[in-house]
Copies of this chain bind each other. A is one copy, B any other.
């Protein structure tokens, strides 16, 4: 029996869904539900395709109270840049939580993922960073470097940002772009130790397989969000950092111990177990403590969860409908 399905392209989504406080709030609410509600979130379906230097991840989560639930397909084909194509692509499907019927197909090429990933960074900063963040430091120069900075600047009154990248030119170009976009002082920084020393909030956004941030650089009042690791072989933070932190928070412990910084900390023995690790949703909902003083050192390990996809897809469908955007297909 044919029913109406909303089909929305990346271009239409970019005009309709933005990295704003509404997106940040909707992701925050999803994390709170993950902590308190009867969320069903199966492990990520991950398919490695070594023959073509690729990997495909599928995430989903059913969040009681939301009208739909998303299923997201994220292909990463890492030889694409040699063909002039981006490595990351994919789409999201929103299904009715009542009937399972397809309600929307977002042909977003990863755009909604970009937004919900950066929004999670802002949620982590909102709940864990010190209240006064005069300088934000960003490690990395990719899409998330840009978006995490934009998102964090929405939850803290930032005066200045520093950007470090292995490629100094890229860091300088991004700094110039962000200076214009945010209207604050943004500059490239050639020494990551110096960047960390000057920052109260540091966000790592790299695909690093060896730590880019040393435990020796920690200082009172620092918050670090590590969002680059989402695979078994990635690692941005010196594992000792997770053991030293006053507060260590994961988006999902059962996922971070396989794909995030938590994995490296457990594997190296820097961390002996997960007893002291908290989940972001618990911190948001108040069932776990976050930062207790401006001097605490806090760390948040983000690997990206299906509830974020369900949250952003639900937000997107509402906005698309109100804007009368997208195409309605009878299928």
Is B48 a contact partner of A100 (Cβ separation < 8 A)? no
- A residues 276-331 near B (Cβ < 8 Å) are 327, 329-331
A276 to B46 alpha-carbon distance, docked (Å): 31
> Which residues of B sit under 8 angstroms from A99, Cβ to Cβ?
77, 80, 83, 85, 89
**A22 vs B116: C-alpha distance in the bound complex, in angstroms?**
43
In the complex, chain B residues whose CB is within 8 Å of the CB of A331: 9-11, 107, 109
What is the total number of residues of chain A having a CB less than 8 Å from a CB of chain B? 51
Q: Tell me which residues across on chain B come within 8 A of A90, comparing CB atoms.
A: 100, 102
With a CB–CB cut-off of 8 A, which chain B residues contact A10? Answer: 2, 331
**What are 9 residue pairs bridging A and B, where the CB atoms are less than 8 Å apart in the complex?**
A1-B86, A9-B329, A40-B48, A42-B47, A45-B60, A51-B64, A56-B60, A58-B71, A327-B329
| A63-104 interface with B by 8 A CB criterion | 64, 71, 73, 75-77, 80, 83, 85-86, 89-91, 93, 95, 97-102
Q: Which residues from chain A sit less than 8 Å from chain B, CB to CB?
A: 1-2, 5, 7, 9-11, 38, 40, 42-43, 45-49, 51-52, 54, 56, 58, 60, 62, 64, 71, 73, 75-77, 80, 83, 85-86, 89-91, 93, 95, 97-102, 105, 107, 109, 327, 329-331
Per the bound structure, the CA–CA distance linking A40 and B56 in Å amounts to 11
Interface pair B95/A56, CB less than 8 Å apart: yes
Which partner residue on chain B sits nearest A50 by CB separation? B40
Tallying the copies of this chain within the complex gives 2
Q: Which secondary structure dominates chain A's binding surface?
A: strand
A105 touches which of B48, B75, B98, B105 (Cβ 8 Å): B105
Top 10 closest A-B pairs, CB basis? A75-B100, A107-B331, A9-B331, A77-B100, A45-B45, A42-B47, A89-B100, A77-B99, A91-B102, A49-B62
**Contact across chains for B42 and A46 when beta carbons are under 8 A apart:** yes
A329 — which chain B residues lie within 8 A by C-beta? 7, 9, 107, 327
B-side contacts of A5, CB under 8 Å: 107
- Expressed in whole angstroms, the minimum distance between the Cβ of A101 and any Cβ of chain B is 5
Contact check, B1 vs A11: say whether CB atoms are below 8 A apart. Answer: no
Interface centre among A9, A90, A331 (most CB of B within 10 A): A331
